[in-house]
Amino acid sequence: MAGESDYGAFTEKFIIQPSSSPDQELPLKGLTFAVKDIFDMEGYVTGFGNPDWARTHSAATTTAPAVLAMLNGGATCVGRTVMDEMAYSINGENKHYGTPKNICSPDRLPGGSSSGSAVAVGGMLVDFSLGTDTGGSVRVPASYCGILGFRPSHGVVSTSGVIPLAQSLDTVGWFARDADILNRVGRVLLQLPEVEPVKPTHITIAEDCFQLLSIPSHRVTSVLVKSVEKIFGGHIVKYACLGDYVKDNVPTLKHFKGERLEDQEYNVAPLAALSSAYRRLERSEFKNNHGEWVSTVKPDLGPGISERVWAAVRSTDENIDVCHSVKTELRAALTALLGVSIPLGTYDNLPVSISLLAKHGSDGFLLNLVETLYGTLKEQIDIAQELSY
C-alpha cells in the first residue's frame, strides 16, 4: 500500500505505459491515470476492495475495455485505487486499506465507493482516474473532494471486465480537475467525434431539491444561473418541481408509498420512493451476483458494509419486476438520467458542487456544456465567495 504522501489513495502502484508509439499524437498523450480496484487488468488480481476477495480470485487474464481505451488513447496508468468494499457504500471508508484523505476537507470523508480514484485526482497524483457509478459512486466523491466527476448514460461505456454491483444501474465514470481533460477522457471512452458545442435550448432548475440544502440555495443556484445568463441568455433558464414531475410520470412508484416516505422531513417524497425502488433493485442484483461467494467465504467486512451485504444476501426478490417498471418509466419520463458533478467552490470551508443532467445519449453535449460553462462558473464562484465574507 502507498504511504501518506499518496493520501492513502492507492492499494497498489505500478506503471503501465501506453500501447502506442510515443511519436503518435493521441488525445490523452502525456496524461497519467489511476484505476478503481474493480476493473480487471491483465496479470493483476482485481481486489474489489476486500482482501478475502483478492485471496479467493485469480489474476485477470484480460484488461477491461475502458482501461484499454485509456492506454490506447496515450495515457499512462500508475496504479489501482482504494474503494469501498464490494462497492456497496457511498462513504469512502475501507477497514482493510484505510480511508483515503479528502484533500479538500481533511477532517471529512472522501465519499465512495470510488474514493481513492477521487482523492488521486484531488491530490494531483494523476491527471484523471476511472471509477464506477451505480448510485452516485463517482458524483458523490467528486462533490466531496471538490473535483469534476462524470457518470455517463447507462450502457454507453462498456462495463466488461468490471466486477458488477448491480448491472441494471452500473456505469463506468471518470474524474478530472479541469473540464478540458474531463472532456478528452469522455470522448475517448464514448468514442465521440469532435463536434462544435450545441447551445442548450433550456436549463431547468429543480427547485424542490435545492430547498433541501443545508446552505443557502442561492449560493448554488445563483452561480449557475448567472453563468448561463452570461453565455446563453437568461431566457433558457426554467424552474420545475422535480418531485411532482416524477410523481406524475412514474405511476408505478405508487407501490412504494406504503414505506412511510411521505413523512420524512428532508426528503422529496416521490424521489424518496424512487430511491427505495433503486435500493431494492440494487440489493437483488448484488445478491444474485455475489450472494453465493459471501455465504461460502464469509469475508471479513467492515462496519456498515457487513450489515448491508448480509441484509442483501438474506433478502428476497420481492417486487423486483415493479422496480424494473419504475426504471423503464423513469427513463421514458426523463429520457433517462445522466449527471456530472461540478465543483462550485466552498461554503464554510467545505466544498459545494452541483449536478447537471441531460437526456440519455447526450453525453457529448453535456461534456461540451461543462467545458463551455466552467470558466464563467469559476468567475461567479469567486464573486459569490467575496460577497459571503
Comparing 8-17, 73-82, 159-168, 222-231, the range with the smallest average pLDDT is 222-231
48, 163 in Cβ contact below 8 A? yes
Determine which helix (DSSP H) or strand (DSSP E) holds 76, and give its type and residue range.
Answer: strand 76-81
Rounded distance between C-alpha atoms, residue 49 and residue 5, angstroms: 21
Calpha distance 87→140 (Å, rounded)? 13
Q: For all residues of the chain together, what is the average pLDDT? A: 90
Q: Where are the beta strands (DSSP E) in 209-257?
A: 237-240
Q: What is the 3-state secondary structure (H, E, C) of 310-369?
A: HHHHCCCCCCHHHHHHHHHHHHHHHCCCCEEEEEEEEECCEEEEEEEECCCCCHHHHHHH
**Local structure of 150: helix, strand or coil:** strand
Q: Counting every residue, how long is the chain?
A: 389
Q: What angle do CA 277, 175, 87 make, to 5 degrees?
A: 40
Decide: 351 and 367 in contact? Cβ < 8 Å.
no
Annotation marks residue 276 as catalytic:
no
- Residues 63 and 2 sit within 8 Å (Cβ to Cβ): no
- The three three-digit cell numbers of residue 385, written as one number: 465567495
Per-residue pLDDT of 230-278, as tens digits, reads: 999 999 888 888 898 899 889 999 988 755 544 455 578 899 999 999 9
Predicted TM-score (pTM) of the model is 0.92
Q: What is the per-residue pLDDT for 387?
A: 61
Catalytic residue among 137, 153, 227, 355: 137
Residue that wins the pLDDT comparison between 106 and 348: 106
Name the residue among 242, 254, 64, 21 with its Cα closest to residue 164. Answer: 64
Would you say residue 1 has pLDDT above 50?
A: no
- Asked if residues 103 and 9 have their Cβ atoms less than 8 Å apart, the reply is no
Residue with cell 423513469: 330
Phi then psi for residue 233, to 5 deg, are: 100, 145
Given 36, 101, 247, 327, which residue is catalytic? 36
Domains of the chain in start order, with CATH, are 10-197 (3.90.1300.10)
- End-to-end CA distance of the chain, in Å? 41
Angle between helices 320-334 and 269-297 (to 10 degrees): 130
Per-residue CA distances from 41 to 88, 90, 112, 186, 326 (Å) = 21, 24, 21, 20, 35
The answer to whether 113 is a known catalytic residue is yes
Give the separation between CA 203 and CA 238, rounded to whole angstroms.
6
Is-cis flag, bond preceding 214, omega within 30? Answer: no
| Chain centroid to CA 173 | 6
Is 249 in contact with 370 (CB distance < 8 Å)? Answer: no
pLDDT at 334 over 50: yes
Sheet with 339-347, strands from edge to edge, namely 10-16, 76-81, 32-36, 128-133, 171-176, 148-151, 339-347, 350-357
How far apart (Å, rounded) are the C-alpha atoms in residues 337 and 93?
Answer: 27
**Catalytic (active site) residue 137:** yes
Segment of 166-175, 263-272, 372-381 carrying the highest mean pLDDT: 166-175
pLDDT of residue 386 exceeding 80, the answer is no
d(CA 290, CA 70): 28
What are the φ and ψ backbone dihedral angles of 205, each rounded to 5 degrees? Answer: -100, 125
Percent of the chain whose pLDDT exceeds 90: 67
User: What pLDDT, on the 0 to 100 scale, is given for residue 345?
Assistant: 78
- Mean pLDDT of the 108-134 span: 98
Catalytic pick from 89, 113, 129, 355? 113
The rounded distance, in Å, linking the Cα atoms of 173 and 48 is 16
Which pLDDT tens digit goes with each residue over 304-321? 999 999 999 999 877 799
Distances (CA, A) of 98 to 11, 113, 193, 194, 269: 9, 13, 40, 41, 36
Q: Give the model's pLDDT for residue 335.
A: 63
